[in-house]
Amino acid sequence: MISAVGSGGAVLPGVLALVVVLVAASVLGAGQQYLLQRTAEGVVLSTRRLLVDRLLRLPIAEYDRRRTGDLMSRVGSDTTLLRATVTSGVVELAGSVVVGVGALVAMALVDAWLLLVTVLAVSVGVTTAVLASRRVRTLSRQAQEQVGAMSAAVERALSAVRTIRASGATAREVATVGVSAERAFTAGVQVARLQALVSPAGSIAVQGAFLAVLGLGGYRVATGSIAVADLVAFILYLFLLVMPLGQAIGSYTQLQTGLGALARVQEVLVLEPEHDDVPERPLVGAALRVLRAGDPVPLLELDGVGFGYPDGTPVLHGVSFAVPAGSRTALVGPSGAGKSTVLALVEGFYPLSAGSVRWAGTDVRELPRAALRARMGYVEQEAPVLAGTVRENLLLAAPDAGDDRLWQALADVGLTGVVRRSPRGLDVAVGDDGVLLSGGERQRLAIARSLLSRPALLLLDEPTASLDARNEGLLRDTLAAAAADRALLVVAHRLSTVVDSDQIVVLDGGRVVAVGTHPELVDSSPLYRELATAQLLV
């Protein structure tokens, strides 16, 4: 256009062409921005789904080793960083490379000497920026780890806020979380300090390139080596090179930040999940058998079971006993004897160190865990209740149960009156972790939830720990009725709830020291007699 104006040629075609290009670029830019953001959100969504799926399928031992808050931060803050990686990272970096290469080609066609000066000036800044950006990934991962530690500290404090408040420890916990926040701040500042070095390096390179081009270009124009229009065109091409160059440096830095977060996400994704739909040791013909009361084959049998934690701490030593179908078996003993561990092994939460667990004569390692767990109900000692409503908690194990079954399950555990206190009935909220219910109510709701699934074997860990005498008697009647068509394996410290069991297994130090009924054990087992005497049962 400059040449056309100087020579008196037609200018309108060039103007129209520029207008068309400008409008087209704007429309395409808007479309690109939308597609990039949508793609980035899609990447974050799929990553979060994959990460949550893996987190909920990890072996139970992994949760014992990791902090819940840190795992949550990987789903939240770490995946959020991937959004910027997709938008201003990979795609913009690739686009900048294309535009930059095009500008270099055009500059070479205009004047090779000016291009050489430009490349030399820009290379210094680019090299400095790249070297600094490579360090960003390590620092970014460290910063995200500190954010995870802070999230874990907050989760720890919030989960025990009542205990903290009652203990007068609020200020100390605030200080503890504050220390984690300060560490996250320090790590973030280190990343910011390094990123701040990138921009000046690029700016110096760009300004140096402009000064060199103007100096050398002015000299070449003065000597007649190139025309003014060529110098103006070269400078415009230099703008085309500089803009994507700055974007490329920023995108590369952003990419390193995202890769640091991606490494934390990958740390979870590479963990082997629990394949509960595939047997640990597949065996042709292995199947879950349905047994009835009186069947000579025990429904559940532990044979020489041994277990120890990964750190080498032994818990169980050669534990052996059988649970016949339709019977009630109780596990009793002092704290730390391994009673709850037995239930965890029956559920398949941990691998056995020795021995075997058999279901209807078949080693459980030859059966899919999912199918086996569907035949068992499990109520933990802490009686966890999920945030939501009573209905949602009951439907967790029996999603197709109707209201009649739900109300019957509540009646079986004496919760009907509690639920009817609210006009919302089954849809009354229970609060986070069931905080709006008492400890006994949470325990009974958890038991009702397990009964709804109609299991062949019901595992109960301290079912009466939070119940008063009246509700303990009601629950004892409920369990007696439940045992009519299913087997019960109950862990109990309060012997009054299990004195009428078909058999009582006494554990001490991870070993079975006696098996029998209440009268038999009172006569034959010193440990059981001591426990029963302490509870005024003899």
Residue (of 369, 389, 374, 380) closest to 447 by Cα position:
380
How deeply is 231 buried, as exposed, middle or buried, from its count of CB atoms within 10 A (0-12, 13-18, 19+)?
buried
Quote the pLDDT of residue 188.
Answer: 80
Encoded amino acid at 40, one letter: A
Q: Please state, as a whole number, how many other Cβ atoms lie within 10 Å of the Cβ of residue 104.
A: 17
Quote the pLDDT of residue 345.
Answer: 92
Phi and psi based region of residue 116 (left: phi greater than 0; alpha: psi -120 to 50; beta: remaining):
alpha
The answer to whether the CB of 250 falls within 8 A of the CB of 133 is no
Longest dimension (CA), the chain: 121
Question: Which residues make Cβ contacts (< 8 Å) with residue 264, sequence separation at least 6?
Answer: 74, 78, 141, 144, 145, 148
* Alpha helices, H only, 68-169: 68-73, 79-84, 92-110, 112-159, 161-166
Quote the pLDDT of residue 118.
Answer: 82
Each residue of 26-40: pLDDT tens digit?
999 888 888 888 888
Strand partners, 487: 457
Quote the pLDDT of residue 216.
Answer: 85
Quote the pLDDT of residue 489.
Answer: 93
Quote the pLDDT of residue 411.
Answer: 86
The position carrying tokens 């000692």 is 381
Quote the pLDDT of residue 466.
Answer: 65
Give dist(CA 156, CA 172) in Å, integer.
13
User: Which of the residues in the chain have pLDDT under 70?
Assistant: 86-92, 125, 129-130, 132-134, 159, 162-163, 195, 197-199, 201-202, 246-254, 283-294, 383, 466-467, 478, 481-484, 536-538
Encoded amino acid at 444, one letter: R
313-316, long-range: CB < 8 A, 24+ apart: 314/510, 315/341, 315/510, 316/341, 316/342, 316/345, 316/353, 316/510, 316/511
Question: Which residues make Cβ contacts (< 8 Å) with residue 392, sequence separation at least 6?
Answer: 386
Mean residue pLDDT of the chain comes to 82
Q: Which two tokens stand for residue 185?
A: 């701040």
| Intra-chain end-to-end CA distance of the chain, in Å | 109
Encoded amino acid at 312, one letter: G
> From residue 289, how far is each of 18, 32, 212, 285, 359 by CA, in Å?
79, 59, 85, 11, 8
Give dist(CA 418, CA 334) in Å, integer.
33
The answer to whether the CB of 495 falls within 8 A of the CB of 525 is no
Instruction: Beginning with the edge strand found earlier in the chain, give each strand of the sheet holding 362-363 in spatial order.
Output: 314-323, 300-308, 354-359, 362-363
Q: Which CATH superfamily is domain 18-269 in?
A: ABC transporter type 1, transmembrane domain (1.20.1560.10)
Give dist(CA 100, CA 242) in Å, integer.
8
Quote the pLDDT of residue 23.
Answer: 93
Percent composition of the chain: helix, strand, coil (DSSP 3-state, to 5): 65, 10, 25
DSSP 381-410: TT----SSBHHHHHTTT-TT--HHHHHHHH
Backbone angles phi, psi at 418, to 5 degrees: -65, -45
**294 sits in which H/E element:** none
Residue (of 536, 521, 470) closest to 330 by Cα position:
521
Q: Which CATH architecture has domain 300-534?
A: 3-Layer(aba) Sandwich (3.40)
The answer to whether the CB of 321 falls within 8 A of the CB of 302 is yes
Quote the pLDDT of residue 89.
Answer: 62
Each residue of 13-27: pLDDT tens digit?
888 888 999 999 999
Question: Which residues make Cβ contacts (< 8 Å) with residue 263, sequence separation at least 6?
Answer: 137, 141
Quote the pLDDT of residue 133.
Answer: 65
**35 sits in which H/E element:** helix 12-55
In the three-class reduction of DSSP (H, G, I as helix; E, B as strand; rest coil), residue 301 is classed as strand
> From residue 131, how far is each of 95, 195, 196, 315 by CA, in Å?
21, 11, 13, 52
Quote the pLDDT of residue 250.
Answer: 67
The answer to whether the CB of 216 falls within 8 A of the CB of 113 is yes
Domain boundaries, the chain: 18-269, 300-534
The position carrying tokens 């000016």 is 114
